[in-house]
Chain A
Amino acid sequence: MLHYVASRFGQALFVLWAAFTVSFILLQAMPGDAIMIKFQNPDLGLSPEQIAAIRASYGADSPLWQQYLHAIGNIMTGNLGYSIQDGVPVSEQLATNLPVTLRLTALSFLLAVIFALAIAFAAHLTEWAWLRSTLAALPALFTSIPSFWLGIILIQIVSFRLKLIPVINPGEWQGLILPVLTVAVPISAPLAQILLRSIDDVKAQPFVAVARAKGASHSRVLWRHIARNAILPALTIAGILLGRLLVTAIVTETVFGLDGLGTLTAKAVLNEDTSVLQAIVLLSALAFVLINLLVDVIFPLLDPRLGRKIGATP
């Protein structure tokens, strides 16, 4: 077990280093840079000599390998650098923006799971074929709704027509209702789809027939026998969904004017704010690594077969 944890930890570190290095190279390869975008702005009326002096003061003209070592040294000591565009430390930006996104994505993910479970189980429990096919068609609809459109429609109806929730100056939790709904709907779609499919697959397995033959009720079979097995593929997808969650959050944050990681990313990309982007890349890599680790740990708990060693032992 110790060996397993150590090797997973080593892998995680490698992934983080690789993500940092690759993003560093890619960002350097782009034409222009943050200093140029900020100071070349004609509103400032700087002369080329002044811009050259500013570049020198940022150390932007030192050799690339020096900049790389400098950046990686900073990261090791927990210094994420300075946002050139905003003139504030990156750690300060993350401190304001990260909690917003964490709250939005965590709540949305929770709601998405609830939606997915509700759709999948309702579809399997219902007696009516028309309801079953309607519910089964929902994920396809949900996944094709663009999140910015859904956000704007929700605002138009709930906030402007019905005047139920203000978008401007809402209460802290009140302001999360519509954005969470906007993110949860498209995220629930793949989860529900996988659940529906895997329930079908598991249903066809012999042990289900055995359970039915023993006289277990329809819902008891679904909950006790099928659900535990059907949830495994959905869990794997949940780990992968993180990326999509972040992308949906970017759009949603813009529509609702939320100041989260998504808004920060979009702005940093436009301004080629390298330190901000690198911090976000590192953070996302870290989140991916942690979530996959979590999925790997949960898997054997849900399916004892995975915990056992299978095959011939030497």
Chain B
Amino acid sequence: MGALALAATVARAEDAPVKGGTLIYLEQQPHTNLYPPAGGFYPNGGVLNQITDKLTYQDPKTLKIEPWIAESWTVNADDTEYTFKIRDGVTFSDGTPLDANAVAKNYDTFGLGNPALKLPVSEVINNYDHSEVIDSRTVKFTFKRPSPGFLQGTSVIGSGLVSLATLARPFDELGKATNIVGSGPFVVSNETLGKELDLKARKDYAWGPKTLAHQGPAYLDGIKYIITPEDSVRIGSLLAGQADFMRQLQAYDEKQVSAQDFPIYAAPTRGVNDGVAFRPDNALVADLRVRQALLHATDAKEIVATLFSANYPQATSVISSKAAGYVDLSAKLAYDPDAAKKLLDDAGWALGPDGLRHKDGETLSLRLYESPPQPQNKAVLQLLGQQWAKVGVKVNVLPGNAASAVTDNLDPQKTPAVVVEVGRADPDVIKSQFYPKNRDVLLQKDGQSAKVQNFIDPTLNGHLEAVAAETDSAKRLADAGTAQNYLIDQAYVVPIFEEPQVFAGAPYTKGIAFEAVGRPSFYSVWLDKH
């Protein structure tokens, strides 16, 4: 009995976090803009997640929304009014209070934007109308129409709370990290633009999410972000003991890291899967049979097996199997080149002597821009092109950093297909990706592009609006299922794999956590003796 107790104490002593030290974190790209709604870009989110707190905390495992800066909340029956009670004693790092007024100003900006300062509207907030400060610790938000995704929206990386001074700055000045004042466990102390970023722990931090085992200030003294664009240098420095943690480990480098017993962390992004979407406004893919043919000509299993590792699961629906509202559609996504050939024959695309399909003097040849943020995207598209070539469809993969990529991707005539992916742990993510007023990847009329002639799909938009506005959560998940089924039935999108964010750390780097869509949190990290 005594020995058992002793063993338990020893075990605990070994697990007790060591305080102090600076984490050297190797980031592939510098951050661009730290206006919180721009946190979708991984390097931005990786900084914002340490220096800002959110109104609510989404448990990355259960995806349940829990209190954080808001200690409680009430929602009215039709999800048009949300009232939050703000935790007492929270301050921004400039000393100003994080009270109901500050929260109200943050959401007025995120929900309505600030055109004078060029601050855009956050994509996670739908139908926002206004805020009302009831007392110093109570704030009420009112929406024009039901906004069931709002509660989850208060927990995401794009909803970090910043001080009134930060909100008063124009968008352009928010590229400088030292201008971002949040209430998070770390504060930006120094920045060498595009190269290094120093964060320092706040000693008076006492308002982490209540559900975490770790309370009080961070264990680390600080974090040093070093921008190291070259893959081999990031991995080599980590393995050589010059750094403690790194982002963006490619699948082909995983073995090199795990062979030396360095842990690999694959954080799911829980959103729309990595894949290719079509622009039906382009005559080449306007016919459902052509899109279906391409869907069945895609061998996602081969792509995953050839280019990736076990950390990249094959897609079984439009959204990730770990996403809220996911339905398994693998039966509809079967690889079947014979069916694909038949569909193309039926659609009138006849196989020519050059091995390609032709119809009315036109060749079935699709232009597609590589998407540099997606893992090994060029290789993925080239392999996809080889698979489609087997049924007679040609793919031209264009470099993603070409100057023309942005404009061409808005023109359905120039880009009949486009790479898709977006992370967010709420069914709203489907709407974010496909709705004309949001990312509009299918390019519908009256959406993001003025170049669209005809294509518009009111049925799809109806399904997407339902996901964003349905107040009954069970029905809302069912709506998300309907939207996924519809997108695959119409073959608007070819899902390929579930995209993770892959990190690697030194064996002595402990306590790494990730928020629901894969941004690291260094709040509970500690460096063991080494």
0 or 1 for each of B176-220: is its CB under 8 Å from A? (1 = yes): 100000000000000011110000000000000000000000000
Question: Shortest Cβ distance from B290 into chain A, in angstroms?
Answer: 25
* Residue A254 at the chain B interface, CB threshold 8 Å: yes
Residues of B207-241 whose CB lies within 8 A of A: 224, 226-230, 232-233, 236-237, 239-240
Question: Shortest Cβ distance from B21 into chain A, in angstroms?
Answer: 14
Q: Are A87 and B120 in contact (CB under 8 A)?
A: no
Question: Shortest Cβ distance from A95 into chain B, in angstroms?
Answer: 10
Q: A32-B407, A160-B237, A168-B24 are in contact. Are A86 and B232 (CB under 8 A)?
A: no
Closest A residue by C-beta to B229: A254
Residues of A33-60 whose CB lies within 8 A of B: 36-48, 50, 53-54, 57
Q: Are A87 and B174 in contact (CB under 8 A)?
A: yes
Q: A47-B437, A87-B173, A155-B233 are in contact. Are A168 and B122 (CB under 8 A)?
A: no
* Residue B123 at the chain A interface, CB threshold 8 Å: yes
Q: Which of B123, B195, B229, B236 contacts A45 (CB 8 A)?
A: B123
CA distance A168 to B54 in the complex (A): 32
Selecting from A116-124, A197-205, A234-242, A255-263, the interface stretch reads A255-263
Question: Shortest Cβ distance from A88 into chain B, in angstroms?
Answer: 6
Residues of B35-90 whose CB lies within 8 A of A: 37-38, 40-41
Q: Are B401 and A36 in contact (CB under 8 A)?
A: no
Chain B: interface size category: 35 or more
Question: Shortest Cβ distance from B163 into chain A, in angstroms?
Answer: 18
Q: Are B24 and A96 in contact (CB under 8 A)?
A: no
0 or 1 for each of A154-168: is its CB under 8 Å from B? (1 = yes): 011001100100111
Q: Are A257 and B33 in contact (CB under 8 A)?
A: no
Q: Which of B193, B432, B449, B450 contacts A86 (CB 8 A)?
A: B193
* Residue A93 at the chain B interface, CB threshold 8 Å: yes
Residues of A within 8 A of B113 (CB): 50
0 or 1 for each of B467-498: is its CB under 8 Å from A? (1 = yes): 00000000000000000000000000000000
Q: Which of A50, A54, A87, A256 contacts B176 (CB 8 A)?
A: A87
Question: Shortest Cβ distance from A162 into chain B, in angstroms?
Answer: 10
Q: Are B240 and A32 in contact (CB under 8 A)?
A: no
Residues of A within 8 A of B195 (CB): 257-259
* Residue B115 at the chain A interface, CB threshold 8 Å: yes
CA distance A110 to B505 in the complex (A): 40
Q: Are B240 and A40 in contact (CB under 8 A)?
A: no
Residues of A263-279 whose CB lies within 8 A of B: 263-264, 267, 270, 272
0 or 1 for each of B102-113: is its CB under 8 Å from A? (1 = yes): 000000000001
Q: Which of A50, A84, A86, A166 contacts B242 (CB 8 A)?
A: A166
Q: Are A50 and B115 in contact (CB under 8 A)?
A: yes
Q: A31-B407, A32-B407, A257-B229 are in contact. Are A44 and B242 (CB under 8 A)?
A: no
Question: Shortest Cβ distance from A80 into chain B, in angstroms?
Answer: 15
Residues of A within 8 A of B38 (CB): 41, 43-44
Q: Are A167 and B406 in contact (CB under 8 A)?
A: no
Q: Are A87 and B175 in contact (CB under 8 A)?
A: yes
Question: Shortest Cβ distance from A244 into chain B, in angstroms?
Answer: 21
Residues of B within 8 A of A86 (CB): 32, 175, 193-194
CA distance A264 to B64 in the complex (A): 43
Q: Which of B229, B242, B422 contacts A168 (CB 8 A)?
A: B242
Closest A residue by C-beta to B231: A152
* Residue B118 at the chain A interface, CB threshold 8 Å: yes
Closest B residue by C-beta to A82: B172
Q: Are A167 and B237 in contact (CB under 8 A)?
A: yes
CA distance A93 to B226 in the complex (A): 18
Q: Are A43 and B115 in contact (CB under 8 A)?
A: no
Residues of A116-173 whose CB lies within 8 A of B: 152, 155-156, 159-160, 163, 166-169
* Residue B306 at the chain A interface, CB threshold 8 Å: no
Residues of A3-45 whose CB lies within 8 A of B: 30-32, 36-45
0 or 1 for each of A84-112: is its CB under 8 Å from B? (1 = yes): 11111000010010000000000000000
Q: Are A160 and B240 in contact (CB under 8 A)?
A: yes
Q: Are B407 and A42 in contact (CB under 8 A)?
A: no
Q: A31-B404, A32-B406, A82-B172 are in contact. Are A259 and B194 (CB under 8 A)?
A: yes
* Residue B26 at the chain A interface, CB threshold 8 Å: yes
Residues of B113-169 whose CB lies within 8 A of A: 113, 115, 118, 120-123
Q: Are A259 and B193 in contact (CB under 8 A)?
A: yes
Q: Are B115 and A53 in contact (CB under 8 A)?
A: yes
Q: Are A44 and B120 in contact (CB under 8 A)?
A: yes
Q: Are B194 and A263 in contact (CB under 8 A)?
A: yes
Residues of A within 8 A of B175 (CB): 85-88
0 or 1 for each of B5-27: is its CB under 8 Å from A? (1 = yes): 00000000000000000001010
Q: A45-B121, A47-B437, A87-B172 are in contact. Are A31 and B229 (CB under 8 A)?
A: no
Closest B residue by C-beta to A30: B403
Q: Are A36 and B437 in contact (CB under 8 A)?
A: no
Q: Are B237 and A267 in contact (CB under 8 A)?
A: no
Residues of A within 8 A of B32 (CB): 38, 85-86
CA distance A267 to B113 in the complex (A): 28
Q: A96-B193, A160-B240, A166-B242 are in contact. Are A31 and B230 (CB under 8 A)?
A: no
Residues of A within 8 A of B262 (CB): none
Residues of A within 8 A of B24 (CB): 168-169
Question: Shortest Cβ distance from B45 into chain A, in angstroms?
Answer: 10
* Residue B527 at the chain A interface, CB threshold 8 Å: no
Question: Shortest Cβ distance from A7 into chain B, in angstroms?
Answer: 39
Q: Are A152 and B193 in contact (CB under 8 A)?
A: no
Question: Shortest Cβ distance from A133 into chain B, in angstroms?
Answer: 35
Q: Are B226 and A257 in contact (CB under 8 A)?
A: yes
* Residue B364 at the chain A interface, CB threshold 8 Å: no
0 or 1 for each of A217-238: is its CB under 8 Å from B? (1 = yes): 0000000000000000000000
CA distance A53 to B33 in the complex (A): 19
Closest B residue by C-beta to A100: B195
* Residue B455 at the chain A interface, CB threshold 8 Å: no
Residues of A within 8 A of B401 (CB): 270
Residue in B33, B173, B227 whose Cβ sees the most chain A Cβ within 10 Å: B33
Residues of B within 8 A of A42 (CB): 422, 439
CA distance A159 to B233 in the complex (A): 10
Q: Which of A37, A54, A152, A169 contacts B406 (CB 8 A)?
A: A37
Q: A47-B437, A50-B115 are in contact. Are A156 and B403 (CB under 8 A)?
A: no
CA distance A39 to B226 in the complex (A): 26
Residues of A within 8 A of B422 (CB): 42
CA distance A32 to B176 in the complex (A): 25
Nearest 8 A/B pairs, CB to CB:
A45-B123, A87-B172, A43-B40, A87-B175, A259-B195, A168-B242, A42-B439, A160-B240
19 CB contacts below 8 A, A to B, read: A31-B403, A31-B404, A32-B406, A43-B40, A47-B437, A48-B448, A85-B175, A86-B32, A86-B194, A87-B172, A88-B193, A93-B193, A152-B232, A159-B237, A159-B242, A168-B242, A259-B194, A259-B227, A272-B403
Known A32-B404, A259-B192; 13 more pairs at CB < 8 Å: A31-B404, A32-B407, A45-B123, A45-B438, A46-B120, A47-B121, A87-B173, A160-B237, A160-B239, A169-B224, A258-B195, A259-B193, A263-B194
Which residues of A does B touch, CB under 8 Å? 30-32, 36-48, 50, 53-54, 57, 82, 84-88, 93, 96, 152, 155-156, 159-160, 163, 166-169, 254-259, 263-264, 267, 270, 272
Which residues of B does A touch, CB under 8 Å? 24, 26, 32-33, 37-38, 40-41, 113, 115, 118, 120-123, 171-176, 192-195, 224, 226-230, 232-233, 236-237, 239-240, 242-243, 401, 403-404, 406-408, 410, 422, 432, 437-439, 448-450
